[in-house]
Structure 1
């Protein structure tokens, strides 16, 4: 709980587009205790800091979704990664701590903006509304991740250090209600976009009404509100702001593609490189974590189509417990695929397919199978012809593996659908149902007497 109020923490304010600047002014370094929002010229640097906080949350969020589940096996010497690969996660795990800290750092910067911006004069109403809406959205986004990762978490609504020092956990349902409140407030004031109004990079980098609706579609899917999940995902699909890439290879090898709904970017000067939260470093450079044998078998089957290109094989790496397989999605600073995609249009088709299947809308142009086959056609995979609801729901689960793997969904999917215990206990003898929630980081419990630990840790 103290991570976001450790005032020695530096937020690097950088441009968000890969190999190009998309936010002005030039990047600067800003200390959290020196956040300044006193005049119009301060608004843009603090806004950049808000987006930078989102970037800091992105890599550990991907690790939570995919390292906790059945996609990976341990292949290195770092304790944090071994714990995920062998399913022996502890409250002292550094990645567990990093995600918590980045969540509350994002909440802190959002709260700072919401507290200070109303007092700033001589800025346009459009700027005030947009920046306020961005802060509301990203606070909601952070709390959504926190609630589905840790369960009951503190609800932090101020930057006051005394108040924040001993904030207790509140019910997950309370946090999720606040997420919806933030999303709805953001939706009202975020700018609208059309396919012709701006380019793909801006559509994925900046928040707007359409990518807010995409986040809300995911929100309602997790809450099992199938009608709202179907409606919002349909709105995003029909907006024509985002378009399915013709070739799946572009999803793997390119940044800021046409179907990217929300994406955080890096350039040569700010790529995380060899840091502990660099996905390229962990998955490719050091190979601390490698694709599991079970995952490889699924991905190289004909059912995945061109999605098999998510991973690649190198016989030179095959030795000992190393199966020679590597994830391709996260490149180095000099490559054109080192960004992290947080939402893309394919997910909207899968959200709609699941929501439709749950409502027993199976066949026809407006049925779940049509949405699955739209993605399978792009991937040159065999079409499916299913009619039973249970079969379609399992097909959606598999399609989410083929289409979205290593984008941070798998563990969250298994937990929200009640499938985690069956799938992951078969995957690892060390799996325990306590891992359906991450532990509260031990350093936070030691520094915040109001925090309690999740059961089993």
Structure 2
């Protein structure tokens, strides 16, 4: 991971002041300031926090570019089929030839730990501040803890045992050892639960571009689902569903700037710019320049599924030359039309459906799933047994959440069905359930050894 010292902190503060890129509207002073000054000024402290959203949007797990997990894990699983013969990180993901020196793996790791460092810097600065109001301290601390928790969640679900970093202290961080996945998940929940207590349901900005209590509760629903805590997963998901601020929007509006479905979005850099996802997935000419939707994904859609009509676009005469069309803008427009949707209410209905299926409440399971199926123009499914319900939910998750933040990969992994990928991945191996730890990290810190099995 990238380890920083106090000199770097001062540089980061200057970058924070000058690079928050639209997440806040106030004009901020651009001269050199100290770390203490930053967290004794509400606007500067807010800039330090909101800059992390910019970092996450541009690089790392949640970025919509081809180095984010929407693209990488889409190629790794069975959502995207790479057609380009050029060497690239995502092509290695598609081929199942990811090694510890893979640049995309290194970028995921380093960028994410840089973001965690920035979150820890905010946590420490806000706690130490004597000038910020209680309300501002709670909001900034809650957001920073939530970011720290969710980033470690993605790291451990992707790499397995990892360090859980809670400090900016260089001497502590440079020698940190890995923590067991179970313990990491425990600390993830601790950070999210603290954030839930600190935050309120209202957004701190006029748009859904910063984390509020509902965002945290949505992630707590997911974390509890992954840990098979069915009652808690259902309860948290229903808290989001019951909030009148959110609703399942029409299929052609889910990924718009003003989407009712969105619980959390990334704001674009400047007005007129649209999402990184649009630029990564959309192609307008043949041959396919990078990757297309995998034919096995296309075959999963039932006849009449409006998600295929609205979210899949064919290029040319071959029906297999398609790209994800959830985001429809690949270039700038007169005004920004789309924001990246990080978490949305449809996932909450899927969580309720799965949790209630596991609890034996088939009526609620069917009703929850029907919210999405009816919008897609499909008939209701009524279940009489757990297995048929879980199989149907896995399929619905695949079709509802394709090309979004690796849901397909993580779903197969948590359900013990990773070997399903061997049907389309001839060289698929069991150890592919985690990525290799970056080679350079093992060289810098022997406490990170051993390398993940199989690599």
Q: TM-score range by the shorter chain?
A: 0.7 to 0.9
Give 1:210's match in structure 2, choosing from 208, 214, 220. 214
Other-structure match for 1:72: 80
Give yes or no for the alignment of 1:399 onto 2:396: yes
Quote the residue 1:304 is aligned against: 305
Local SS of the residue matching 1:73: strand
**Alignment size in residue pairs:** 432
The residue matched to 1:343 in structure 2 has which SS? strand
Equivalent residue for 2:46? 44
* CA–CA distance in structure 2, aligned partners of residues 427 and 33 of structure 1: 54
Report deviation, 1:62: 2.1
User: Which residue of the partner structure matches residue 346 of structure 2?
Assistant: 346
Q: Which residue of 2 aligns with 1:454?
A: 452
User: Kindly tell me: are residues 43 and 34 of structure 1, through their superposed partners in 2, closer, same or farther at Cα, counting changes over 3 Å?
Assistant: closer
Deviation at 1:368? 0.3
CA separation in 2, counterparts of 1:98 and 1:34? 27
Unaligned residue ranges in structure 2 (runs of 5+): none
SS of residue matched to 1:205: coil
**Cross-structure match for 2:246:** 242
Q: Does the residue aligned with 1:342 lie in a helix, a strand or coil?
A: strand
| Greater shift in the superposed pair: 323-332 or 165-174 | 323-332
Contact (CA 8 Å) 2:195, 2:216: kept in 1 or not?
yes
Does 2:438 match 1:441? yes
- In the TM superposition, 1:81-100 aligns within 5 A as 81-100=90-109
Residues 357 and 393, structure 1, Cα contact 8 Å, conserved in 2: yes
Deviation at 1:352, TM superposition (A): 0.4
- Give 1:279 deviation, angstroms: 3.7
Closer, same or farther in 2 for the Cα pair 1:449/1:267, shift >3 Å?
A: same
Q: Which residue of 1 aligns with 2:366?
A: 369
Q: Which residue of 2 aligns with 1:101?
A: 110
1:231-272, Cα deviation, whole Å (9 max, x unpaired): 111111112221111x212125x2340110111121447969
Check 1:352–1:95 CA distance in 2 against 1; reply closer, same or farther (3 A cut). same
Change over 3 Å in CA distance of 1:377–1:28 after alignment to 2: farther
Deviation sequence 1:359-412 (CA, Å, 0-9, x none): 11112xxx1011111111111122223322111111101111111111121100
1:64 shift after superposition = 4.6
Measure the CA separation in 1 of the matches of 2:34 and 2:443: 22
CA distance in 2, matches of 1:272, 1:154: 34
The SS at the match of 1:146 is helix
| 8 Å Cα contact 1:260-1:341 kept in structure 2 | yes
Q: How does 1:421-432 map to 2 (within 5 A)?
A: 421=419, 423-432=420-429
**For the structure 1 residues 38 and 391, does the alpha-carbon distance in structure 2 shift closer, same or farther, using more than 3 Å as the test?**
closer
Give the Cα separation in 1 of the matches to 2:365 and 2:4.
42
Q: Render the CA deviation track for 1:436-455: whole Å, top value 9, x for unaligned.
A: 11111122222222222111
Range with bigger deviation, 162-171 or 389-398: 162-171
SS state at 2:94 partner: helix
Give the 3-state SS of the residue equivalent to 2:305 in structure 1: helix
1:307 offset after TM fit, Å?
4.0
Q: Provide the secondary structure at the position in 2 that maps to 1:159.
A: coil
In the other structure, the counterpart of 1:360 is 360
Aligned pair partner of 1:182 in 181, 191, 194: 191
Rate the CA distance shift 1:443–1:271 in 2: closer, same or farther, 3 A.
Answer: farther
Bigger RCO of structures 1 and 2 (CA < 8 A, at least 6 apart): 1
Give the Cα separation in 2 of the matches to 1:234 and 1:357. Answer: 15
Deviation for aligned residue 1:44: 1.9
Query: Aligned pair 1:257/2:263, yes or no?
Result: no
Distance between the aligned counterparts of 2:216 and 2:177, measured in 1?
29
TM-fit CA distance, 1:313: 0.6
- TM-score, normalised by the number of residues in structure 2: 0.87
User: Does structure 2 retain, via aligned residues, the 8 Å contact 1:133–1:189?
Assistant: yes
Change (3 A) 1:269 1:84: farther
1:4-44 Cα shifts (integer Å, max 9, x gaps) = 779488667334xxxxx451334899999989635214212
Structure 1: gaps of 5 or more residues:
16-20
Greater Cα shift, 371-380 or 54-63:
54-63
Q: 1:269 to 1:310 in 2, by over 3 A?
A: same
The 1:33–1:380 alpha-carbon spacing in structure 2 relative to 1, beyond 3 Å, is farther
Distance 1:311 1:93, change over 3 A: farther
Name the CA distance, whole Å, in 1 between partners of 2:233 and 2:325: 31
Per-residue deviation, residues 79-127 of structure 1 (Å, max 9, x unmatched)? 3121122222222222222221222122101111111222322321100
Task: Provide Cα deviations, 1:46-69, integer angstroms capped at 9, x if missing partner.
Answer: 122222233233121323542321
Secondary structure in 2 matching 1:249: coil
Question: In the aligned structure 1, how far is the partner of 2:33 from the partner of 2:338?
Answer: 27
Q: Does 1:334 align with 2:295?
A: no
**2:320 counterpart of 1:314:** no
The equivalent of 2:226 in structure 1 is 222
- The match for 2:140 is 131
